[in-house]
Amino acid sequence: MIRFNNTYFSYDGKPLISGFSVNIAHGEKVAIYGPSGSGKSTLVHAILGFVQPEQGEITVNNLHLSPDTINEIRQLTSWLPQDISLPYNTIREMILAPFEFKANHSRKPSDQEILAEFDKLALEHSLLDKGISEISGGQKQRILLITTVLLRRPILLLDEPTSALDAQSVDLVIDYLKSLTDTTIIAISHDQKFINSLDTKIKIG
């Protein structure tokens, strides 16, 4: 599904990751962990084409990542960064915003579909009609994860998806992601419990 073949990356002219190779299978759940500044985000950004390896190659779903294929590859991925600026007033607007794009319009979920996902992460149905300023950081993080999942793409890229969650909510997120059996997940994390729950652990740095 995703393959890094002897890839090298640098930052500000200094080597960051050298000779990195890995094969990630369809449906595999992968945790990337390591100290800050070690290059974890670089690997995820490389899959999205935001960063180019200085050497080596990256293949996604049998497509060699290049300027000619990056748009097709991005259509296979959903990306949830750690920090998101939200120019929306309500939860409903926030959830539905990605589905206003032509590429996602056919996947636009109904309220029933959204609330079914809310149930899986112990979110009250009434949150759907609340303002973003009215909810906690943990609630927002779970709702953003649901929004990413509702895009129904085969690859899910997550950056610190449990950073704002209590222990019970972390357990819910672990179960939620494991239930996505046909989805390949790559998650950057410092949460040891979350890391240990995934199929594969890749330490960087």
How many other C-beta atoms can be found within 10 angstroms of the C-beta atom of residue 3?
Answer: 18
Distance CA(187)–CA(9), nearest Å, equals 19
Of 20, 19, 17, 14, the closest CA to residue 2 belongs to 20
Q: pLDDT (tens digit, 0 to 9) for every residue of the chain, 205 residues total?
A: 999 999 999 988 889 999 999 999 999 999 999 999 999 999 999 999 999 999 999 999 999 999 999 999 999 999 999 877 778 889 999 999 999 999 899 999 999 999 999 999 999 999 999 999 999 999 999 999 999 999 999 999 999 999 999 999 999 999 999 999 999 999 999 999 999 999 999 999 8
Place of tokens 């056919």: 106
Of 171, 173, 107, 188, the closest CA to residue 143 belongs to 173
Q: What is the pTM of this model?
A: 0.95
The strand ranges marked E within 35-118 are 55-60, 63-64, 77-80
What DSSP designation does 142 have?
H
Of 157, 155, 156, 121, the closest CA to residue 140 belongs to 121
Distance CA(146)–CA(120), nearest Å, equals 10
Structure tokens at 137: 């950081």
User: DSSP assignment of 95-111, as one string?
Assistant: HHGGGGSGGGGGGPPPH
